[in-house]
Amino acid sequence: MSITLADAQAVAAAAFAGAAKVNLNVMSVVVTDPGGHIRLAMRSDAQGTFGIDTALGKARTALGFNRSSLLLAKTFVDPCGVASLNGATNGAFLPLGGGVVVQKDGVTVGAAAISGGMPDVDDQLIRAALEACGFTALA
């Protein structure tokens, strides 16, 4: 089971609406399927080159460890450990807050992430967007 494109679009719309409320105008949103493949990627007009890549890295990192990238950022504080995992994943490990595993009725249907704000703000925004669309974000 995977998140539908329509649901991914709804999550992105809710994320952009939430970001507007906190004056976050530079951001990207990525929603993936359970395998980490992009279902939807959007960026604001002001977002730079790395926004989508950063959000995708956060989402895949959350999927890879089955927990939020914010929690992983607090767990992996040793630069050598981060570098080792980054090497082992061909550069895909990105422990910055803003990426979460997405569940519906207890089943993982994908991941979602925001990049653009401070890590804790990105985390709060993506969680609120998912909740508004009837999904649960893992801790």
| pLDDT one digit per residue (tens) for the chain, 139 residues | 999 999 999 999 999 999 999 999 999 999 999 999 999 999 999 999 999 999 999 999 999 999 999 999 999 989 898 899 989 998 889 999 999 999 999 999 999 999 999 999 999 999 999 999 999 999 8
* pLDDT value of position 59: 98
**Claim: this prediction has a pTM higher than 0.85:** yes
Looking at domain 5-137, its CATH class is: alpha beta
Give kind and range of the element (H or E) at residue 30.
Answer: strand 28-32
At 113, the amino acid letter reads A
Q: In whole angstroms, what is the distance from residue 31 CA to residue 56 CA?
A: 8
Ranges of each domain in the chain: 5-137
Mean pLDDT of the chain: 96
Contacts (Cβ under 8 Å, ≥6 apart) of 54:
28, 94, 96, 115
